[in-house]
Chains A and B, each alone.
Chain A
Amino acid sequence: MAMMEEPLALPSGTVARSRPLGAFSRPRETSGLVTWLTTVDHKKIGIMYGAAALFFLIIGGIAALMIRVQLAVPDSEFLSAEFYNQVFTMHGTVMVFLVVMPIGAAFANYLMPLQVGARDVAFPRINAFSFWVFFFGGLMLNTSWFLGGGADGGWFNYAPNNGIAFSPSNGIDFWNIGLFIAGIGSLTGSVNLITTVLNMRAPGMSLMKTPVFTWMTLVTQFLLLLAIPVLTVAQILLASDRLFGANFFNVEQGADPLLWQHLFWIFGHPEVYLMILPAFGIVSEIIPTFSRKPIFGYPFMVFSGIAIGFMGWGVWAHHMFVSGIGPLSVAAFTVATMFIAVPTGVKILNWLATMWGGKIILNTAMLFSIALVIQFTVGGLSGVSHAMAAHDTQQTDTYYIVAHFHYVLFGGAFFGFIGGMYFWWPKAFGYMLSERIGKLQFWLMVIGFNLTFGPMHILGLQGMPRRMQTYSDAHGFNFWNMAATIGSFILGFSTLMILLNAFVSYRKWVAADRPNVGADPWDARTLEWSIQSPAPDHNFDHDPVVTSLDDFWHRKYQKDENGVLRRVATGDELAQPGNGEGVHLPAPSYWPIVLAGSIPIIGYGVIYSLWLVIPGAVLMMASIYGWALEPADDLDIDDHHDDHAKELETVS
C-alpha cells in the first residue's frame, strides 16, 4: 500500500544515471523469464495469476477425479480414509483459494485498468508482490503433500477437529500458514485495485459510467479487504493453539468451538460472493456485446452487485443452521438469507432482458455466458431451498449442498471465467481461440458438468452425506454415483480443452504468419477494445476521455439525422495506434518476488523450527530495504516530467 511510483508519463531517451540511494539497479531484461519474474505490468501479472490458477486447477482437478473414482462404487478401497480426507480437504482448499479466487484476480488485474483507461494499477510493485505472495503461499500449501500429508480437516477446518490432538500431522499447519500467506497477497491486492478503480479512472469516467465488470471488481475487492482480516484472525488463533499451546479452541479450558465457525463464516460467506461476482461482471460484458444491445438496467446491475456485497455480511450463520445457535438466530438468518436471492434474481432477469429482442451472436463466449445464467439459477434455487433453515436440517452436509455450490461456483463462476477467456483471449494474446474447438468444449463441459453435479441433488436428498470416504451397497447410492463419476471425467477432459485450444489456435496463427486480430474483433463496448491487440505495454497512448457508459461503442455508433443508429467508424479506425511515443513505464523490480519469497521461509520456520525464522526475517528486512532504496527508475528524472504529463492530458 505504500508506493509513490508513478505509472504515468515520464520522458524517455536520456542516459541512465545511477541514483545515490539505489542499492541495486532495476532489472533491464526485455525478454525471457526474468521479465516475468520482475515485471510490474498489471497485464503480465494478470496473465501470471491465470497461469498459476490453471496450474493449481490441475492439482485440484486431479484431487476431484480421485474423489470421484473412490466414490464410483460402494465400499471402494481405492483411497484410504486418511488419504481421502486429505484429498477432499485439499480439493476444496485449492479450488477456492488457489483457483477461483486467482482467476478472478487475473481478470481484475488484466482488465480493470484497461476498462478504466489507466496506464497501470495504483501501486505496480505492490501488485507484483501480491501475485508472488499468493503464488508462494499456494505452493507452500501444496508442499504439504510431500511433507507428511495434506490438511485433513476439510476446507472449513472446524475446531476442535483442526487441533493438534485430532490432526497431529503438519497438514493443517500448512493449510493455516499457506493460506495466511496467500491472504497477505489478497489484502495488498485489494487495497491496490480499489485505489485504482476509485482514483485512476479516465477523465470523464464517473463511477456510473464505469463498466459493470469494473464495478464487480470494486465490490469483490472490498469484500476481500474486509473479509480477509477475519480469516486472518481465525488463522492466528488456530496457529497459536497448534504451535504455541494457546487455548482458543480448547474445550477443556472452557473454549467454545463455535467461535471458529463464526469467524470462518463471517469470512466465508463474503468469500462466496467474491468468487462469483467477477464472473457476474464478465458475463455482463459478454452478453451485451453479443446481443448487440446495452446491458439492461445498468443501475440495477450495479446496485444489485453492491447489495449482494452488503448482504453477504449478514448471512454467515446460514452455514451454521444445525450448529445449535438457537431458533431465534436461525430464524433471523433464514430470513436474511432468503432475501439475498432478490438481488441475484434481478441480475439473472436483467441478463435475460438484455438478450430479449437482441441480435444474438452465439459464439463460444456467449454460450458460456448463457450457461452461467441458467446453471447459476439452478444453484440459486437450491440455495433458496436450504436457506429455509428447517428444511436445511435435512440438506446440510449432504451431497445436495455439494451439488448446490458446484452449480454456483463451477456452473456459475467457472463457466463465466472460461467464457471470459474466449472473449478476451485476442486482447491478451493477439490471436483468436478456435470457435470449433470452443463450441465442442462448451457442449462437453455442459454435459460433463450436469452429469457430474446434477445427480448429486438426488443423492443428497436420498441422504448421502458429504465428506464420506465410502458408502455401503445397502444405501442405494450406487447408480447416481457412477453417473457422476463418468460425468466428472468428461468434465475434466473438457476443462483441459481450453489449453488444447490455446495451443492449437496459436500454432495455426503462427502458421498463418501471425495475422493482426485487430483492436476490436468483437465490435465490443468498453475501453480495452480501443487499444491494439495484444494490449501494448503502456496500455493507452494517451488518456481516453469518456463521456458516457460504453463510451467506445458510442464513438463507433452514432445516430444519423433520422435518428437511426449508424456505424460512423470501426473499432480499428478509432483505436489508438499503440506507438506510445514518450510514454514511460514503471521499471521492473526484483524486490516484490524476493520479499514475497522470504515470507514462506518464515512460514516453514514457524512450523518446523523457529531458527529458520531468523534467515527468513533477515531476508525479509533486507528486501524491504532493497525495495525502499531501489531507484524508482533507471532513467534520469528531470523537471520536465510534470509538464510532459500535463501535455499529455491536454492532448487527450
Chain B
Amino acid sequence: MRKNYFHPKNLDGVYSVYQIEGLNQDRLIKNLKNGGLTLYNVKKIANHKMSLEISVKQDKNFFAIVEKMCYTNLELKPKIDKKRKKLLKKGVIATKSECGYNIKLTRVHGKAYPLYYLFTHVGVLIGAIIFCLGAYHVDDYIFSFEFTGSGNVVENRVVEYLNSVGVEKGKRFSEFDLNVLADGILAENPLLSYAGCLKRGNKMVIELVLAKNGTDILDESIKSLSSDVDGVVKELKVYRGTPLVGVGDKVSAGDLLVDGVISHKDVQIETNVLAKVVVLAEFNYTFISQFDDRETHAELLAIESLNLPVEYSKITKQPDKDGYLYTVTLYYNRVFVAG
C-alpha cells in the first residue's frame, strides 16, 4: 500500500506523552527499544509509574508492542481510537484487572503540533479558512466615512460628489480607485487644496484641506437670511450674524433665520451674514383617484413634482365624492446659505 505522506501521523516534530502505570517497566522499555522505537524523556514519576514521549509517527508501533505485551487499559484523552475500543470490548486487549497496567495519553506537543492539531481537527481548519475568507470578503465593504482635515466644512459637497459617483455605504472598496476618487473630489471643489482617500478597515477616511485662496466669491451684501418654506430647523451653522432660531424650531415662510445685526455691550453693529441653515420642509400634494390602492402612484407623482431629494413621506387616504383623495406629504431638506 502506498504511504500517505500527507497524513498527520507522518509529521515530524510531534510527540505523544504517555503515562504508564504498572510493574516491570524495565521490560517495557526493553521491548519498546527492541521494537525500533525512539524513546524520549523516560522519567519515573512515582513507584510503578513513569512517563515517556514517542514521536506520533511511531504511535502505531508503540500500541502494537504494548498490545502484544498485554498492556491494557488505554485512556487516550484527545481521541479514542475506535478500533482499539472495539478490541477492548471484544476482550482482545486485556483489562486492567487482568494485567494491571494503565497507559494514558496525557498530551501531544512539539514544534509541528499546531499543524498536527489543524490536520486532526478538520472542523477547526475549515472554520479558520472560512473565517479568513469571510474577514477578507467583509473587509472590502465600506461601512462608514470619516472626514478629517480643515476641509471637512465642505463635507456636504463632498458627500454629494461621492453619491453622484456611486460611493455609498455598503459598496466595495475594490469597485473604486481611491486616487481617482480623491482627484475627482479635488476637481469638484475649488475650495479644497488637497483631497485624499484612504481605506482604514471598513472606514473610508477622506482627508480634506481647504485652499488658502478659494475661487468662490464671498457675497458680503447679504444682511439677513430668511426662510422661504414652512418646516423645522434641522441644522444651523452661523459664522457671522445673530441666529434667531434654534435647531428643532418650527419656522414659516418669510421668517428671519439669521440676522446681520450683532449686539455687543449695548452697541449694535450691522454686518453681513455668513451662515448655513437646513430646514426640513414639507411639500403637500393631493391626488384624486377612483381606485383605493393608488398610494404608490400618488407618492411617485408627488416626488416627481417636487424634483428634490426626499427625506421621507407620509400618505393619507380619504373617501371623496369622486373616489378617493390621497394627500402626500413629502419632507425634504431646504438648505439656506449666506456668505
Real binding pair: no
